[in-house]
Amino acid sequence: MPLHGSFYPPGDKSISHRLVLFALAAKGNCLISHLSGCADVISSLAIYRRLGGKTENTADGLLIKGLGGDIASGPVDLNCGNSGTTIRLLCGILAGLKGEFTLDGDDMLRKRPMVRVTEPLKRMGAQIDGCLPPVRIRGSFLHAIDYNSPLASAQVKSAILLAGLKGDGLTVYREPVTSRNHTEILLRECGAELKIKENVISIVPGDIQLPAKFTVPGDASGAAFFLSAAAFIPGSDVTALNVSLNPGRIGFLSVLQRMGAGVDIVAQDCAPEAQGRVRVFYNGPLKAACINSEEIPALVDEVPILALVAAHARGTSIFRQVSELKVKEINRLAALHQQLGALGADIKIDGDDLLITGTGNSLQARKDILALDSFRDHRMAMTLALAVKAAGVVLPVKDARSAVISYPDFFSDLNLLWHD
């Protein structure tokens, strides 16, 4: 059965986190419209409030008050829940503020690497400990650094730039491939002095001030589930409205296009974050694609749903250098291998590459399979929910509700778009 119609994805999760967390360090008030109501952003909001933040619901959105660094100094225990963005950005913000903080999260977050953030922060003079959560921070004076990051990670970049605001000179951050730039965009909106030259970002220390208003575009990573499914389900035609068109987030659209899907993008006049309308429609059988390592940061969260698309395309698709997926909410490479494999997909992990061979036909669940498992990973939950729908099988997906981590209305939007 095809997917048909238009939908508004939730507010972008990455941008929503930044608006809430920047309010700890920045002065001024910001009226945020379309802030994501997902569980991860609720974790960031709860921490902002625990540190003394105040919000007000208005007809036009949430009014958030900037604390300008004047936060509860603790010692305070902060629960980041399942959210890697919350814990990593907070490390950068709190390292240079006064107080003692313990940052922890759920059992999944406790398995996620923190050294990528704590190591460069230590070089800046931060008093921070913990290779895995819980991470302990005692705020201190920070030095500027020139950091050559081995990872293309927006979370690491954000932590260092935010700490750089408290440095004693120009902090320079170099990344191997450009990662999403929401932090740079919002820092500039907050009046920070940034120089950006390709993959080198420099920040001058100083105070920041929230913009008076900010409209959060729809989450491209959420929209990607329905848009990608429309690419391989015959007869489908789906439009995401008011969705982010930030180039660092829509790498999946060029992959869908290369595979042969119909893709129309109409930009709206919107600043500072690009936004518009994206239509994806079934345009005949798809062919396999090779996704090289430089493309990965702009689609890192879309690999699970693109893997499902690849399983429906003819030929072998290769996702090169996707080892970062091993340290997301769960090891997504292993989960994809196991769960899409259970649905009959030909899927292999070769070192850090993911290879999927499709025949162009729909997937057929193995006879011995009674249920699929999302392992409580939101992106696995949404991928598998679409996989069983597309396969036309009635198979439960364990912990499918984990979709609320990033997309609270995923299942109602699925019902809206799916026409039995």
Active-site residues, by number, are 301
| Packing angle, helices 332-342 and 378-391, rounded to 10 | 20
Nearer to ligand S3P, 48 or 232 (CB): 48
Closest CA to 282 of 266, 262, 265: 262
What contacts 415, CB < 8 A, 6 or more positions away?
A: none
Residues that bind ligand S3P (CB under 6 A): 14, 17, 85, 153-155, 158, 179-180, 300-301, 324
Asked if 47 and 87 count as a contact pair (C-beta separation under 8 A), the reply is no
- Cis ω for the linkage preceding 272 (within 30 of 0): yes
CB of 225 to ligand S3P, least distance (A): 14
CB of 156 to ligand S3P, least distance (A): 6
Single out the residue of 223, 262, 215, 254 nearest to residue 241, CA to CA: 223
| Residue 301 CB, nearest approach to ligand S3P (Å) | 5
- Closer Cβ to ligand S3P, 180 or 312, answer by number: 180
* Buried b / exposed e along 331-352 (16+ C-beta atoms within 10 A): bbbebbbebbebbbbebebeee
Residue 151 or 395: the one with the smaller Cβ distance to ligand S3P is 151
Give 30's strand partners.
64
| Dihedral over alpha carbons 203, 204, 205, 210 (to 10 degrees) | -70
Q: Nearest-CA neighbor of 311 among 355, 245, 374?
A: 355
Which residue number, 92 or 205, has a Cβ lying nearer to ligand S3P? 92
Q: Are 2 and 237 in contact (CB under 8 A)?
A: yes
Give min distance, CB of 160 to ligand S3P, in A.
12
How many Å apart are CA 333 and CA 326, to the nearest integer?
A: 6
Tokens 């036309």 correspond to 392
- Alpha-helical (H) ranges within 26-153 are 39-50, 84-94, 115-123
* Residue among 219 and 373 whose Cβ is closer to ligand S3P: 219
Nearer to ligand S3P, 155 or 236 (CB): 155
d(CA 300, CA 85): 14
CB of 155 to ligand S3P, least distance (A): 3
CB of 394 to ligand S3P, least distance (A): 31
Q: What's the min distance (Å) between Cβ of 17 and ligand S3P?
A: 6
Element (H, E) at 265: strand 262-267
Q: Which is nearer to ligand S3P, 179 or 275 (CB)?
A: 179
Compute the distance between CA of residue 411 and CA of residue 155 in angstroms, rounded to an integer. Answer: 28
- Give the SS3 label for residue 38: coil
